[in-house]
A and B are shown apart, each in its own frame.
Chain A
Amino acid sequence: MYKYFPHTESDIAEMLERIGVASLDDLYAEIPESIRFDKDYNLKKSMSEDEVRNYFKELGNLNHPLTVFAGGGAYDHYSPSVIGQLIARSEYLTAYTPYQPEISQGTLQYIFEFQSMMCELTGMECCNASMYDGATATAEAMLMAIAHAKKRNKVIISRTVSERVIAVVETYARFHGVTLDYIPENDGVTDKAAMEQMLEANDVAGVIVSTPNRYGIIEDFTGFAESTHAHKTLFIVNADPSAMAVLKTPGEWGADIACGDGQSLGMPLNFGGPYVGYLAASRDLVRKLPGRIVGATKDVDGKRAFVLTLQAREQHIRRQKANSNICSNQSLMALYVTIYMALMGKRGLQEVNEKSYAGAHYLCDKLLATGKFSLCFDKPFLKEFAVRTTLNRETLMKHLEEKGFLAGIPVEGTDDTILFCVTEKRTREEIDNLVSLIEQEG
């Protein structure tokens, strides 16, 4: 007997009798002897609830949570208390994908709200029920472009997209057989002239750029939609949804597809996951979107209701001809950001960005004032920025970590550049402390 197994000895005996076998072993009689596992697993002994707690506590003690001045795809924004408690409701937490809409209106409704809010933030016309993360969402955007173009097999991606995202897009491209080329960067932003040249051959299915980009720079995509569309190429923008409350949206830039990670919408850092990818598009691409999509409809009594729709795109119907293989997505995390967006609302998200902007620029100016840092690019940024340091980068970051700070992240491909990030959670005192520690370095 065990707390998760309700079977008593007599239950087992009665059930075996109904089945017509003598023992539990008989239920496995058809398994060839040679492949049976009749040993004990080499695993730890069963732990009581308190033992499990203590074990996790012990592991937790080996971690050192830090005051976070880093982003790079994971942002330390404020998480309202309400959200964790609401998403823990078992009606949400322990449901499966809403296959039976009559008893799944809870899930279906919040997905509809999620889709609606993500459309608002990104300025796009439709959005699916979520993707695994921002990187896989971008890879799926690439596959959408290939499927849309039919006879083109090339996608080009800007070097200013986060290297984490590029790494995943590269993997998907290689195995799917997509030719992936890179648009060079010029002074920290996508080289528009180079992109236009690459489009000339009329063989590019999609262009992928991002904003804010891997250096935190807010890119100016003026003319990008015109250039790509002139060659019947899809324009894909990977965008931080939190920032889209104040920055020009993919929709406003004329994008065909917007994608990215919803983690910035108040989700805990959680050592990298679960987060939530999003994929939004213009209306004419709706049938090319992968995964679940929820639509509104009515029941037989005329009551408004929601349902999984356009399922003829999906793997359970189309099998190898489906738009994607995605089945489970990150539904509960979509609920997380939906509740976040509801709480923060129109005003709150603007305030988050206003405060992050102020803090980031304050830190940036203080760092420059130490004389040990210089800005990599003289370009507009929001909450993240790249600086070069005259100090030894690794030593500096290590020292600051010992004092409890995650002082940015090293920019790959350089030995002196650090990407700092400041969110609305960082106080002036924390920033002043960080800077005074840096002043003592060197």
Chain B
Amino acid sequence: MKYYNKLIFEISKPGRVGYSLPQSDFGNYSLADLPQTLRRETPAELPEVSELDVVRHYTNVSNKNFGVETGFYPLGSCTMKYNPKINEEMAAMPAFTTLHPRQSEESVQGALRLYYELAQALAEISGLAEFTLNPFAGAHGELTGLMLMRQYHIKRGDLKRTKVIVPDSAHGTNPASAAVCGLEIVEVPSTPEGTIDVAKLEPLLDDTIAGIMMTNPNTLGIFEKEIPQIAKLVHGCGGLLYYDGANLNPLLGRCRPGDMGFDIMHINLHKTFSTPHGGGGPGSGPVGVAAALVDYLPRPRVVKHGDRYAVEGGADSLGSVSGFFGNFGVMMRAYAYILSLGKEQIKHVGELATLNANYVKESLKDCYYLPIEGICKHEFVFDGLLDKSTGVTTLDVAKRLLDYGYHAPTIYFPLLFHQSIMIEPTETESKETLDEFIEAMRTVAREAIDDPEMVKSAPHVTPVRRLDETTAAKNPILRFKDLNY
């Protein structure tokens, strides 16, 4: 296929249309009757294209993308597992997609039941009392969870608690969510083994601490085995524990955040529960809480009375975080996944994801620098190539992998190392796929020694090559109207 590089505006021709609307016969009503002051002065310059123009354009544009179905996508922290097709079919059922969110409870019992049952299943898997499915993504779940944390303290009249502890290995959304929630961030350092330094945590704990945000396994893929002690300390000072569920996948079947002592958590349905990432959403970030926090969950809340499902507010609720019920279509996919796997299969997800990650780690640590030895969980982090003399950086390795038909791992996160390469294979990948990837990684490591310039100028065979990001940021061109090339 020839290289396609047009914008939709560039194939527009005045007069073409790509739609058909019904004739209407309502008589003499016309927009022209609106006062001139309320009407748009100049028309919006939207494209004018035929239906085939549109179909061909977006098909060709899609060919410049890489998804899980294109190839292996070991993007650490993102859990790029296979997105099952049956989930898509279920989410497209008109009996749900045509429902208006303001319909009466009686007319949406199926949708409410789905919401309720999914929330129950997540509570069981997490070891927590109850879930809201309203938050739209992981970061939105974090924000909602921190609001719950604050609401808990506020309702107890404990108003001094305005700080939250965040490990230095945390994902950027953790401190950012805390800031949006009006909390002050206190950073706790990691030990050389990559886990929270409990000795340095202790002195931070006092009656101004609202709680701690953690993920376990942490962003290095290492299980925080001191968690019972951490929970005891944080609870001891009156704080709560928040669990960032982005890393829940390896725990399926093995360990539950509620049992570890976490009071609040979010789950990324678009990670652990197989819903597609859609190029950056829509995701879904359900938030679960321990029994003591149930009354503070956001509105609307879906509850069950006898065999009827109802929507409630709740006087102590923290308020609303979404216009309606959240990303319902994403919930449908996640529920189809949970029903498919069921109790017999969900429990194998964690161990197979962990098996895959350790297999890749052990197969590559003789050519990439593994800063922390030991068994990881679903992901692990290399600190660049083992041989640092070549000048080939993590960025170069990532770009060269694109030439070999792989998506790159997550790079330069976590921030604990300078050359982080974070690899998360997920349980849906076969040994053959992993072996091929391992071979490609080894080839790149060899190339870094034999022909470093070639690696540094990679990628070579992608639809476009390295981009001038500096000019893009210095002189931002953010819409077609401002584009002159």
Question: Would you give the shortest CB distance from B227 to chain A, in whole angstroms?
Answer: 7
Q: Which of A318-357 contact B (CB under 8 A)?
A: 318-322, 324-333, 335, 338-339, 341-355, 357
* Stretch with Cβ within 8 A of A (4 or more), from B41-49, B234-242, B443-451: B41-49
| Contact across chains for A358 and B29 when beta carbons are under 8 A apart | yes
Partner of A47, one of B251, B328, B342: B342
* Stretch with Cβ within 8 A of A (4 or more), from B197-205, B254-262, B286-294: B254-262
Question: Can you report 8 residue pairs joining A to B where beta carbons are below 8 Å apart?
Answer: A32-B225, A76-B100, A96-B78, A116-B7, A299-B465, A316-B171, A328-B283, A350-B43
Determine whether B389 belongs to the interface, using a CB cutoff of 8 Å to chain A: no
Given the interface contacts A15-B431, A171-B321, A354-B31, does A322 sit within 8 Å of B18 by beta carbon? Answer: no
Given the interface contacts A49-B86, A59-B113, A345-B17, does A164 sit within 8 Å of B323 by beta carbon? Answer: yes
Determine whether B397 belongs to the interface, using a CB cutoff of 8 Å to chain A: no
> 7 closest A-B pairs (Cβ-Cβ)?
A272-B324, A60-B95, A46-B342, A332-B278, A106-B65, A272-B101, A62-B110
Partner of A244, one of B40, B101, B346, B469: B40
Determine whether B347 belongs to the interface, using a CB cutoff of 8 Å to chain A: yes
Given the interface contacts A116-B480, A346-B45, does A299 sit within 8 Å of B467 by beta carbon? Answer: yes
The CA-CA distance from A297 to B172 in the complex, in Å, is 26
Given the interface contacts A319-B172, A332-B281, A428-B25, does A133 sit within 8 Å of B322 by beta carbon? Answer: yes
Q: Give the chain A neighbours of B338 by CB distance below 8 A.
A: 43-44
| Contact across chains for B26 and A359 when beta carbons are under 8 A apart | yes
Determine whether A309 belongs to the interface, using a CB cutoff of 8 Å to chain B: yes
Closest to A120 in B: B44
Q: Give the chain A neighbours of B97 by CB distance below 8 A.
A: 268-271
Q: Give the chain B neighbours of A373 by CB distance below 8 A.
A: none
Centre residue among B41, B100, B477 by max chain A CB count within 10 A: B100
| Contact across chains for A105 and B64 when beta carbons are under 8 A apart | yes
Given the interface contacts A45-B342, A45-B343, A91-B63, does A343 sit within 8 Å of B255 by beta carbon? Answer: no
Determine whether A7 belongs to the interface, using a CB cutoff of 8 Å to chain B: yes
Interface residues as binary, B152-195 with A (CB distance below 8 Å gives 1, 0 otherwise): 00000000000000000001110111111110010000000000
Give me 18 other A-B pairs in contact (C-beta within 8 A), A92-B67, A324-B176, A333-B278 excluded. A4-B427, A12-B355, A46-B342, A73-B324, A103-B462, A104-B66, A164-B324, A246-B31, A271-B99, A273-B330, A324-B180, A328-B138, A332-B276, A332-B279, A332-B282, A342-B49, A355-B24, A425-B22
The CA-CA distance from A362 to B5 in the complex, in Å, is 46
Closest to A261 in B: B323
Interface residues as binary, B52-70 with A (CB distance below 8 Å gives 1, 0 otherwise): 0011011101111111111
Determine whether B390 belongs to the interface, using a CB cutoff of 8 Å to chain A: no
Closest to A165 in B: B323
Interface residues as binary, B99-125 with A (CB distance below 8 Å gives 1, 0 otherwise): 111111011111101100000010011
| Contact across chains for B282 and A273 when beta carbons are under 8 A apart | yes
The CA-CA distance from A193 to B279 in the complex, in Å, is 45
Determine whether B245 belongs to the interface, using a CB cutoff of 8 Å to chain A: no
The CA-CA distance from A202 to B12 in the complex, in Å, is 47
The CA-CA distance from A82 to B55 in the complex, in Å, is 7
Determine whether B301 belongs to the interface, using a CB cutoff of 8 Å to chain A: no
Q: Give the chain B neighbours of A391 by CB distance below 8 A.
A: none
Given the interface contacts A171-B147, A409-B102, does A218 sit within 8 Å of B38 by beta carbon? Answer: yes
Given the interface contacts A37-B127, A120-B46, A319-B175, does A97 sit within 8 Å of B277 by beta carbon? Answer: yes
The CA-CA distance from A403 to B465 in the complex, in Å, is 59
Question: Would you give the shortest CB distance from B260 to chain A, in whole angstroms?
Answer: 5
Given the interface contacts A11-B431, A220-B37, A315-B172, does A103 sit within 8 Å of B44 by beta carbon? Answer: no
Determine whether A196 belongs to the interface, using a CB cutoff of 8 Å to chain B: no
Q: Which of A55-112 contact B (CB under 8 A)?
A: 55-66, 68, 70, 72-74, 76, 78, 80, 82, 84, 86, 88-107, 109-110, 112
Q: Give the chain B neighbours of A380 by CB distance below 8 A.
A: 34-35, 38
Question: Would you give the shortest CB distance from A114 to chain B, in whole angstroms?
Answer: 10
Question: Would you give the shortest CB distance from A146 to chain B, in whole angstroms?
Answer: 11
The CA-CA distance from A57 to B92 in the complex, in Å, is 12
Question: Would you give the shortest CB distance from A434 to chain B, in whole angstroms?
Answer: 14
Given the interface contacts A18-B363, A218-B34, does A307 sit within 8 Å of B472 by beta carbon? Answer: yes
Question: Would you give the shortest CB distance from A18 to chain B, in whole angstroms?
Answer: 5
Determine whether A130 belongs to the interface, using a CB cutoff of 8 Å to chain B: yes
Centre residue among A296, A314, A333 by max chain B CB count within 10 A: A296
Closest to A110 in B: B61
Q: Give the chain B neighbours of A171 by CB distance below 8 A.
A: 147, 298, 318-321
For the side of the interface on A, what is the size category? 35 or more
Q: Give the chain B neighbours of A65 by CB distance below 8 A.
A: 94-95, 98-99
Interface residues as binary, B323-336 with A (CB distance below 8 Å gives 1, 0 otherwise): 11111111010001
Q: Give the chain A neighbours of B63 by CB distance below 8 A.
A: 91, 106
Q: Give the chain B neighbours of A187 by CB distance below 8 A.
A: none
Determine whether B459 belongs to the interface, using a CB cutoff of 8 Å to chain A: yes
| Contact across chains for B95 and A168 when beta carbons are under 8 A apart | no
| Contact across chains for A301 and B18 when beta carbons are under 8 A apart | no
Q: Give the chain B neighbours of A274 by CB distance below 8 A.
A: 136, 281-282, 327-330
Determine whether A298 belongs to the interface, using a CB cutoff of 8 Å to chain B: yes
Question: Would you give the shortest CB distance from B363 to chain A, in whole angstroms?
Answer: 6
| Contact across chains for B101 and A126 when beta carbons are under 8 A apart | no
Partner of B19, one of A93, A296, A343: A343
Q: Which of A383-413 contact B (CB under 8 A)?
A: 397-398, 401, 406, 409
Q: Give the chain A neighbours of B471 by CB distance below 8 A.
A: 297-298
Q: Give the chain B neighbours of A409 by CB distance below 8 A.
A: 102
Question: Would you give the shortest CB distance from A265 to chain B, in whole angstroms?
Answer: 11
Q: Give the chain A neighbours of B371 by CB distance below 8 A.
A: none
| Contact across chains for B62 and A106 when beta carbons are under 8 A apart | yes
Question: Would you give the shortest CB distance from A135 to chain B, in whole angstroms?
Answer: 4
The CA-CA distance from A135 to B279 in the complex, in Å, is 22
Determine whether B369 belongs to the interface, using a CB cutoff of 8 Å to chain A: no
| Contact across chains for A35 and B280 when beta carbons are under 8 A apart | no
Question: Would you give the shortest CB distance from A116 to chain B, in whole angstroms?
Answer: 4
Partner of A355, one of B9, B16, B21, B321: B21
